[in-house]
Amino acid sequence: MEIKLTVNAQLVTVEVEANLLLSALLRDRLRLTGTHVACDTSQCGACTVLVDGASAKSCTLLAAEAAGSSVVTIEGLAADGALHPMQQAFHEQHGLQCGFCTPGMVMSAVDLVAVNPDPSEAEIRAWLKGNICRCTGYQNIVKAIRAGAAALRSA
C-alpha cells in the first residue's frame, strides 16, 4: 500500500507492505539508520522516535500506522548542523559511550521534557524504564537530561 507521512519535516510517499515496521521503513527504506533496533520484544527503547510529538518505539509500530503522521528521528532533531540542547547536554555530561542506545535515549528525553519541563532525578529514572543502556550505568544520562531540560527551559 502507498502511505504518506512526514519524516523530519519532509513529506514522504512510500509503498509499504502491510507488515513493515516503522523502524524498518526508517532504517531500510529511508536510510535513516540513527534509529536503532536492539531487541525483538519492545523492551530496549533503542528505536524510539517521535510520532506527532510523542515518543514511540518504532519497532512496535507498523509503518502503515504512521501514515499521515509526522515522525521525527534522531537525524531530524538538530537544525542546520547545530546540536539540539538535549544532544548538547548528552555531549557535555558524557551521557553516551558506545552510542547504540543513544538515539533512543535522546528522543525519549526530548519527549519527557516536553511533558515535564523540570523533571526530578527520580522522574527521569522512572521515565527511562523503557530504555536500556548497557554502557553508562545511566548516571550521566540522568545528569544529561536534567541539564538538557534546564537548557530548554532557558532557551
Partner 1 sequence: MTHDGIGAPLRRKEDRRFLTGRGRYVHDIVRAHQLYAVFLRSPHAHAEILAVDAKAALASPGVAAVYTAADIAGKINGVPCAWGIVGRDGKPMKEPPHPPLAAGKVRHVGDPVAMVVADSLAAARNAAELVQVSYKVLPAVTAVAEAVKPGAPQLYDDVPGNLCCDWAVGDKAATDVAFAKAHHVAKLDLVNNRLVPNAMESRAALAEYEPSTGEYTLFTSTQLPHVARVLLGVLMLGIPERKFRVVAPDVGGGFGSKQVVYAEEALVTWAAGRLERPVKWVAERSEAFLSDAQGRDHVTHAELALDRDGKFLGLRVSTLANIGGYVSTFGPNIPTNLYGPLLAGAYTTPAIHCEVKVVFSNTVPTDAYRGAGRPEATFVLERLVDVAAHELGLDRVEIRRRNLIPKDAYPYQTPVMLQYDTGDHAATLAKALELSAWSSFAERRAASAARGKLRGIGLVTYIEACGLAPSRIAQQLGARGGIFESANIRVNPSGDISVITGAHSHGQGHETVFAQLVSELLGVPCANVEVIHGDTARSPFGLGTYGSRSAAVGGAAIAKAAGKIIDKGKKIASALLEASEQDIEFKNGAFTVAGTDRSKSFAEIAGAAYTPPPSYPLETLEPGLEETAFYDPVNFTYPGGCHVAEVEVDPETGVTVLVAYTAVDDIGTVLNPLLVEGQVHGGVVQGVGQALCEDCVYDPASGQLLSGSFMDYCMPRADDLPLIVSETACTPSAHNPIGVKGCGETGTIASPATVMNAVVDALAQYGVTHVDMPASPQRVWQAIQAARLRPVAE
Please report the DSSP string for 104-123 in residue order: HHHHHHHHHHHH-SS--HHH
Per CB under 6 A, the segment of 12-20, 76-84, 118-126, 128-136 that binds ligand FES is 128-136
| Residue 134 binds partner 1 (CB under 8 A) | yes
| Residue 38 binds partner 1 (CB under 8 A) | yes
The contact mask relative to ligand FES for 94-113 (x = CB under 6 A, - = no) is: --xxxxxxx-----------
Distance, in Å, from the CA atom of 91 to the CA atom of 145, rounded to the nearest integer, reads 11
Q: How far is the CB of 135 from partner 1 (least distance, A)?
A: 5
The interface partner of residue 63, options being ligand FES, partner 1, none and the CB cut-off 5 to 8 Å by kind, is: none
Q: How far is the CB of 67 from ligand FES (least distance, A)?
A: 20
Instruction: Find all residues with CB under 8 Å of 123, minimum gap 6, and list them.
Output: 112, 116
What is the C-alpha end-to-end distance of the chain, expressed in Å?
42
